[in-house]
Amino acid sequence: MNGWVKGIGLAMLALGLAAAVTVLVGIWLGERKMARRIALNVADITLPEDAASIAHGRYLFNTRGCATCHGRDGSGAAVIDYGTTRIVSPNITAGANSAITRYRTPDWVRTLRHGVKPDGRPLLIMPSEDYSLLSDADMGALIAYARQLAPVSGQAAEVRLPVAVKVMYAFGAVRDAAETIDHTAPPAPAAAPAVTIEHGAYVAYSCIGCHGENLTGGRIPGTPSTWPAPANLTPGYDSAMTRYRTPDSFMAMLRNGRRPDGSTISPVMPFAALGEMNEVDMRALHAYLQSLPPRAGGQR
């Protein structure tokens, strides 16, 4: 009997030690992964200076998620502050605690399109997969608008993650944008917005970060337990899109954050940004989502 008890105790001790070693190794590997350097050849782009392009850049800033994370004034904000997770987005104006003081145009492109800092290290939280295929015209307009934001004093950027998330990152369960982006893919060609499936696919780039490359949704690894799993946006049997057969019902949801039955959708969905999309973008996005092949949810 004592032998069995001793054996079980030793086995539990061994498992505990193995778990501790796994965690320590995971933390070490995660730090190494975050410190890795990614070599990229980033082409410069021409930034527009005309008022119409700057206004278009403002539209993109407000509707494609930039204002959601960095604030409308660009000063940064606490994006997640829950338990042991705290993520404060950087100040992207030229004010105090600015993250972009020395940014040149290629540095903006490297950050937005590739998820990589000017020094070659990856950005862990930045959803660059949403912006990687923006046309050069839209990328230029967006950067031009961001660069002319008034200097504002902001908080210093902060990324504090639970140990479990660090270990998940080390072993690939949580990935940074630079891991998921095809860095050789050309940007989308410039095209006039229209209510077409093609333009809807372009607008849908901004959905990838949360709903996944296939737009099938599913839990985002490493996010707080209070966050709901993003919905399946394909026409699968478990799709949220079954509620929005018409463009008008879809646009109403984007503008008011409510389902057709009146129930409120989680505020994790960035309705402040989505509700500012113009009607052409909304209708094109609906047409594209309705055209997708049905897929089971959660495949990300």
Q: Is 210 within the bounds of a domain?
A: yes
pLDDT, mean over the chain: 92
Tell me which residue of 215, 198, 193, 191 sits closest to 278, measured CA to CA: 193
Percent of the chain scored above 70 by pLDDT?
Answer: 92
Which pLDDT score is estimated for 223? 87
**What mean pLDDT is predicted for residues 39-54?**
95
Tally of domains within the chain: 3
**Secondary structure element (H or E) that encloses residue 159, with its range:** strand 158-160
Q: 210 and 182 in one domain?
A: no
Kindly tell me if the per-residue pLDDT of 55 is higher than 90. Answer: yes
CATH assignment of the domain containing 116: 1.10.760.10
pLDDT of residue 273: 96
Arithmetic mean of pLDDT, 7-19: 60
* Residue-level pLDDT at 42: 93
Q: Tell me the CA distances in angstroms from 170 to 23, 30, 167, 294, one per residue in order.
A: 10, 4, 5, 33
- The answer to whether the beta carbons of residues 260 and 243 sit under 8 Å apart is yes
pTM: 0.90
Q: Residues 282, 196: one domain?
A: yes
| Residue 139 near residue 187 (C-beta atoms within 8 A) | yes
End-to-end alpha carbon distance in the chain: 50
Task: Tell me, yes or no, whether 213 lies in a domain.
Answer: yes
152 and 28 share one domain: no
Neighbouring CB atoms inside 10 A of 149's CB total 21
Q: Are residues 86 and 156 in the same domain?
A: yes
The Cα 286–Cα 200 span in angstroms is: 7
Query: What's the pLDDT band for 299 if we cut at 50, 70, 90?
Result: confident
Determine the pLDDT at residue 236.
79
Q: What is the pLDDT of residues 237-246, one digit of tens each?
A: 899 999 999 9
Q: Residue 45 is inside which H or E element, if any?
A: none
Going by the DSSP 8-state scheme, the letter that residue 206 receives in this structure is G
Do 156 and 62 fall into the same domain? yes
Look at residue 50 in the predicted model and tell me its pLDDT: 98
Q: Are residues 119 and 218 in the same domain?
A: no
- Does 168 map to a domain? no
Statement: residue 12 has pLDDT above 80: no
Q: Are residues 146 and 205 in the same domain?
A: no
What is the per-residue pLDDT for 10? 55
Confidence of residue 1 (pLDDT cuts 50, 70, 90): low
Q: Dump the DSSP string for 66-118.
A: HHHHH-TTS---EEEEETTEEEEPPB-SSSTTBS-TT--HHHHHHHHHH-B-T
Q: What is the pLDDT of residue 82?
A: 87
What pLDDT shows up at residue 300?
Answer: 74
Per the structure, the complete domain to which residue 293 belongs is given by: 191-300
Residue 37 within a domain = no
Residue range 159-175, pLDDT digits in tens:
999 999 999 999 999 99
Residues 28, 52 within the same domain: no
Residue 167 lies in a domain: no
Interval 195-227: pLDDT, tens: 999 999 999 999 999 999 999 999 999 888 889
